[in-house]
Each structure stands twice: as C-alpha cells, then as structure tokens.
Structure 1
Amino acid sequence: MTTAAADQTTTIAIGAHFKGELTFEHDVHIQGGFEGRIVSGGEVVIAQGAACKASIMAVSLRIEGEVEGDITARDLVQLGPEARMTGDISAPRLLVADGASFLGHCRIGPESASGDRVPRAANPPARPVPAPAPVVRSRGAEIETRTVEVARARLAEAQAKLARISGKDPAAA
C-alpha cells in the first residue's frame, strides 16, 4: 500500500466503539466496534475481533470479524475464514472462505447493486398480490417482515448516496 493510499484510510482502532452514521469517500478499517450505518466510496474492512452492528454500503467489503446488518457493495463482498455475518448481502460478486458463517439472504450478480431488484411484469396482475409472508430466522427466533417496496426504497436511497460519494453517475450503474 502506498503512503497516499494509507493516508486515505480511516481506522476505528481496537478498543474504540462508535455509534451513529459514518460517511467516507475512501477506505475504512473497523478494528473495534461500531453500531449504526456506514457509507464508503472505497473498501470497508471489518477486522478479525471487530464487531459491527450496522447497515453498510461501499464499493467493496471485506469481513473478517462479526457483522450484524444488511450490506450492499458495488463490486465485491468477501467473507474471511473467521467472518460471522448475520443479515442480507447484495453485491455483484461474493467470495466466501472456508470457515465463514453467514445467516441471511444474498442477491449476487451484475444487477444486484442496481435498483432493479425484481423484474417487472409486462402486464400487472388483475388482482392484488398478497403481502409477502414473514421471514423467520432460526437464530433467536427473530421474525422480520419486509416488503419489496420498502427494500427497493432503502436500496435506491443507499445507491444514490453511494453514487454521490464515489462520484459515479447512478444512471450508469
């Protein structure tokens, strides 16, 4: 790593714990703890031993520690051998190392980081579509209900913010 690249990396050190919303134009390394929301125009690294309870949006993510929350990457999500991930992943590419733990849903492929999460039908159905059934997660008997509309709105908001930070045109994504 060059000195210029090292100067563009923010680190939350071991023993430090933050809560809130963090927005960066460059790389972020979490070695301590964080709770809230992270938006980065670069790579986010959750180091081994770190704990993060947050929604994370970045160009790429490398998880070696623990993450609880939904993550969206414009390029790649990597789960290292010690990674413990609970939440949903949306990215064009996903790399999972042997030993990693993942509990959640993932949407992987070229369209996953765009707003077109669900293809639209040419002719809408004649009758109303019932709301999706609750998703029951086995760990801790957590019950979470999400509708497609809420998920699309959250993703569109995150993509717009990420596009502003990274300087990329969201229409080109």
Structure 2
Amino acid sequence: MSEMNGESPTVIGADANFKGELSFDKSVRIEGNFEGHIHSKGTLHIAEGANVMANVEATNVKVEGSCKGNLSVSEKLHMLATAKVEGDLRTSRLEIADGAIFVGNVVVGQSASSGSSSSSASSSSFRPSSVSQPTPTPIPRDPSRTDDPNANRPKVQDSRIPASS
C-alpha cells in the first residue's frame, strides 16, 4: 500500500473514529472517520469509504471518499470518481475524475498556492459539528408584478346565458 512518493503511509483504519487535530510530515491514509483539522507537509489520502469533516492544509491530497470542509493544497488535489467533496478549495493543480462530486468554490493556479491566509479555503470558518445545507438566496421581486396570478390575464366577458328557473 504505497503512496505516490514510494513510502508506506500511516493509516487510520476503517474502524477508527478520530476527532481533533492531525499534523504530519509524510503520508497519511484515512480509511475511517475523522473530524477536526488536518495540517500536513506531505500527502493526505482519503480512501474510498472514509468520512472526513475537517479543514485541511496539505501539500498533496487524494480523495476517494467523502470530505466536508475547506481544503488548501499547495501542490495537487486529485479527486477520484468515488470522491464526494463539499467545501472551498485552493490548490495549484486540480484533477477531478468523471463521477466525482464537488460542491463549493475553487481557486486554482499559482495565486492559490501563494494566496493570503485570509482566503476562504484556509479560514477557520468551517465548523465540523455544524454542517448544514446552503441557504438559498431569494430572487428579488419585480415591483411591477402583483401577487395575483390572474393580474396579467385579459378580462373576458362571460357570454353564458343565465340559467332559467
């Protein structure tokens, strides 16, 4: 089970539930559940079936499982076909396989890796315990319209003959 750089990664197994802060210098493969914050100078691999709810700062990230949170990746973010990612992304290079699901905002390129720390992807605004659906923005109402659905219909005279009694 070797990673891109040829070394064996540290593995958080499929039966593990980890909550907190994770920092590492080389490679970590998450197969279980993780909630919190991840900071890495190496490669993070979120395996198929894994569930991660965290803000992530890493050199390289490979996603096959589910990840909710903001990702700031200095080199390459790779989402495979089974990936489900929800959050804002900043990365120098992005690869998304056909079938991967992504919901969020993206900044890709040199500006992403040299971006300021106030960027949305590296901010700490994501709170894993309070994941919610996006709030829809209402469409501004046209003041010339009324709430009456028949207001713009032409007026028609009733041509029926009154019933006789």
Task: Report the TM-score, using the length of structure 2 for normalisation.
Answer: 0.68
2:123 corresponds in structure 1 to: none
1:140 Cα shift? 2.4
Work out the CA distance in 2 between the residues paired with 1:21 and 1:42: 15
Q: Which has the greater radius of gyration?
A: 2
CA displacement 1:96-155 (0-9 Å, x = unmatched): 00000000000000120213589xxxxxxxxxxxxxxxxxxxx82348xxxxxxxxxxxx
The 4+ residue runs of structure 1 with deviation greater than 6 A are none
Q: Kindly indicate whether residue 90 of structure 2 is the aligned counterpart of residue 90 of structure 1.
A: yes
Which residue of the other structure, out of 5, 8, 30, is the alignment partner of 2:7? 5
Structure having the higher helix fraction is 1
Work out the CA distance in 2 between the residues paired with 1:55 and 1:87: 9
Work out the CA distance in 2 between the residues paired with 1:58 and 1:109: 15
Question: Quick one: structure 1 residues 141 and 75, their matched pair in 2 at CA, closer, same or farther if it must change by over 3 Å?
Answer: closer
Work out the CA distance in 2 between the residues paired with 1:85 and 1:46: 11
Aligned residues with identical type, % of pairs: 34
Work out the CA distance in 1 between the residues paired with 2:26 and 2:49: 22
Task: Report the TM-score, using the length of structure 1 for normalisation.
Answer: 0.65
How many aligned residue pairs are there? 120
- Asked if the contact 1:111–1:117 (Cα under 8 Å) also holds between the matched residues in 2, the reply is no
Which ranges of structure 2 fall in alignment gaps of 5 or more residues?
A: 119-131, 137-165
CA displacement 1:19-38 (0-9 Å, x = unmatched): 00010011110000000001
1:15 Cα shift? 1.1
Structural mapping, 1:58-73, within 5 Å? 58-73=58-73
SS of 2:7's equivalent? helix
Structural mapping, 1:89-108, within 5 Å? 89-108=89-108
- Asked if the contact 1:74–1:91 (Cα under 8 Å) also holds between the matched residues in 2, the reply is yes
Which ranges of structure 1 fall in alignment gaps of 5 or more residues?
A: 119-138, 144-173
RMSD: 2.1
2:25 corresponds in structure 1 to: 25
1:40 corresponds in structure 2 to: 40
